Structures are given as C-alpha cells and as structure tokens.
Amino acid sequence: MRIIPQPKEVHTLPDIIRLQEYRVDSTHFHDRLDTIEKHLTDILGKKPVKDSGILIHILKNDFMKTEEYKLSVIENSIGIAASTYTGVFYALQSLRQMVVSKDKEETIIQCGIINDFPAFEWRGLHIDVCRHFFSIEFIKKQLDLMALYKLNKFHWHLTEDQGWRIEIKKYPKLTSHAGWRKEKDGTVYGGFYTQKEIKEVVAYAEKLSIDVIPEIELPGHAQAALSAYPEYSCTGMEMEVWNDWGVSDEVYCAGKDSTFEFLRDIIDEVCELFPSKYFHIGGDECPKTRWKECPDCRKRIQEEDLKNEEELQSWFIRQIEKHLLSKGKALIGWDEILEGGLADTAVVMSWRGIGGGVAAVQHGNQAIMTPWANLYFDKRPFPEDKKVNLPILSWEDVYKYNPIPEELNTEQRKLILGAQANIWTEHIYTENEFEYMLIPRIFSLSEIVWTTDENKDFESFKSVIEKHLKYLRESGYDFESYRQQVIDKIEVKNEEY
C-alpha cells in the first residue's frame, strides 16, 4: 500500500481488517474527541458504537514531533500515537487512504504500520480569488483536499488591482465599490467575503489543521482599493477597478501619512479575523511611475535620506513590518521585497526563481520556495491544453522539484520553511477548470513538501495515482469535464487556438 505523502517507514501486512463496529478510546485528547469522532465517522462510514467491535486507541506521546504520528492497523485494533491533535489528524488522513472499500455493512482497511512526519514546516497552496471569485463552499472543498494530502498553509490572495474581496467595516467602499469591476463587454463582475464568512472558513480550516494566511497587497496591485479611496493614491484622481490583467501603475502613495493610517486600520481588522502568526503583504510588481512624479513621495525620499524609489519601497514595507510586529504577526512578501533592502524579520516567498530564496537565507531571513518554473499551477497541465500561451507544467515536472537549493549550506537550509504551489486565476473562470488545474498536480506538491528528496520513490508514487483520482472523482471533484472540453475544442475547432 502506497501512502501519499511517503511515510518515513512502512510495513505492509498481507491481511486486512473487516470493520463492522468500532469504539474509540482517547487518552489526553478528550477536548478534541468530538472532532476526531466526526472525522472517523466520515472515513469509516459509520459512527462509533460503545463497547463493541474494533478498538481505535489514540495515545498522547509528548516525545513525538508536533506533526509526527504513528499509525498501526493490525488484527482487532487501530492505534494512533501523536503529541498533538495535528498528528492525530494526519494519522486519520493516512487511515482514510488505507480504506480498501466500505459499504453500509462493513469497512475493509489495509493493515500496516506507519511512522511519519513531514520534511517541511510550510506545505502550502495559494488561491487567487481576485481575478475570478470562488464561493465559500468551494473554498472549503479545496481545504478538504489540502487536508487529505497533509498540506497545512492556505495562502488566501484577497486583494488586487482587479478586485477587493474582504469586508473591512471601517472602509465599506472597499467591498461596495472595489469588490466589483465593469468588464470590457459592459457586464459587472465581482464578489467579496463578509467577516462572518472569513471567520467561518478560518474555523473550518483549523479543524483540518490548516493555517489560513491572508494577503493584502501593498504598495502595488492596489487599483481596486484606490478606486474606492483615491485620496490614498499619488494623484488623487478618480479611477475604476481595473478590468485588465497585468499590473496597474496605480499604487499607494508612500509620501502621505494618511496612507499608512488607512493601511494600519485595514491590517488591524484583518488581524482580528486571522489567528495565523503570518501576514502576507504582497510587495511584488510595484511600478514606480507614480512615485517618480509625486511631490509627496519625492519629499519622503529626501526626508528619510533614501537613494531612490527602490529604497522608498523598502522603507514603505518596514513601516508595515513595524505595525505587524506590534500585532504579533510575521510579515511575508514576494521576493521583490528584497529590492532596496530586506526588512529584518520578513519572510521571503521566492517566486521569480530560486534566487530570492537563496538571497533571503543568506541574509539570515527565512524563505518559502514557490518558483514560477516549478510550482505555478496556472500553467498548462497537459500538452493538449492550448487555451493560453503558457508553458506546460505536468505533475511529473512538479514531482521532480526539490525545495532546497543545492548552493545552500547546512545552516542556511534550515531557513527554508518549505514550499507552496500558486494558482492565479486570470484565465481560470469556473470551478471545474480550477480543479482541472489542481488535480493531479496536488499529489506531486504533497510529495515534495512531505518527503525528503532521497526518500522519494517515483514508481511507487506513479502506481497509486489512478487510485487517488478514482477516490476524488467519487468524492465530487470535477477535474475531468473541463479537460474533455479542451480536448474536444482542439480536435474539432483547432483553428480557434
């Protein structure tokens, strides 16, 4: 039996358990017993029965790592040992993958012993809901998928030039106005999440041992927000939510003190919604056109004894870093935050290649690897998909990636927190198209962030992909209908491409 992600140690036994009734004995996990039993009921298809059937024994072992677990499925018992609820939860996900079949009468489970823990702390998935918006229920569905494959960081990209997606009560026009854009054909497109909905998702993710990290873009990618509050731009001129892809020149004014008051107010409300210690501020692709022309920004450069606009951006981000630190948050930014000088405690998300991550850890900062060439899931997953002019990134390509750059020494390697895949949605319009872009590449993502390179086994991994596709198909994930549409279009209407 092959488990995804690859366990550190697997002993497969030739027999199976035929489970008809079971009971749960939990030692020192009583505060989470209801949640554990709900997961078990979902996995096994039946509720535990008192004093009967197979015993599932859950033991707390304080000597194990935070996310480590031991799962033993043998004879008339299922044993789980872990030091935290997260370890127990991951054991349950492996148990889910060991279910051979289930019906109303019985559940058949493959026997085996697994000792398991992840190679990386950060095992992430990024979803852009700004270019194209997805419902709360769809987000929860993707969290379920993340949990099954032991991904633990959901990076929620909530603001952009093309739309603002999170309710900020102090600034209601961010959703009433900036949450909607007028498309080039005259239609209006948009949506946003209320604070109540945000809390609902965060609570749902917490039960799946997933940390939700918000991204509030600054100083660039800000035209949607500035369309609602143009006084925080350099020009103060009225503008609309941007209805094009790419990057707008409209950015937050670095010379006005009121800009930072506005952003601190937003950050304060967002911090109340997300308990994560991490806060992503973007920091990427910030055009300097407006700053070069803005008298307030020129004055700021002079007053702060800065050399140029790159150092102004670094100064801007340091102001935000100070406020986030006062809220107990760690700042994450895309690798452009290196330009002009890296903030002392910032975590760098390296997307333009591995160079940003290398530079960050050599500076003594932590880094998360998410290079465009290896982990951007908006690339085409199959050669027959010619919808957009982007390179092909197959699940095999993702599997080959190692998040640790070879040039780092032993101490520097410890500063690589892990990796994540990013899904940008300029060209992803529907839910089934999204799942087509994610599955099966999420299998490979899970493998590279859970398993060290030397422990990977490609043939074993490849042999179970169809089994996992079958499971997801039966669980309601639609990753095939869009691919068939693409194939049909290529075969019948090839001239359209």
The whole-model pTM stands at 0.95
Neighbours of 85 (CB within 10 A): 18
| Residue 430 in tokens | 């529907």
Q: Cβ neighbours of residue 264 under 8 Å, at least 6 residues apart?
A: 323
Neighbours of 448 (CB within 10 A): 26
Q: How far apart are CA 141 and CA 467, in angstroms?
A: 20
Q: What is the pLDDT along the chain (497 residues), one digit of tens a residue?
A: 345 554 555 656 668 999 999 999 988 898 899 999 999 999 999 999 988 889 999 999 999 999 999 999 998 899 999 999 999 999 999 999 999 899 988 999 999 999 999 999 999 999 999 999 999 999 999 999 999 999 999 999 999 999 999 999 999 999 999 999 999 999 999 999 999 999 999 999 999 999 999 999 999 999 999 999 999 999 999 999 999 999 999 999 999 999 999 999 999 999 999 999 999 999 999 999 999 999 999 999 999 999 999 999 999 999 999 999 999 999 999 999 999 999 999 999 999 999 999 999 999 999 999 999 999 999 999 888 877 788 999 999 999 999 999 999 999 999 999 999 999 999 999 999 999 999 999 999 999 999 988 889 999 999 999 999 999 999 999 999 998 887 666 543 333 32
H or E stretch at 81: strand 77-82
Q: Which residues, in sequence order, are CB contacts of 492 under 8 Å at separation 6+?
A: none
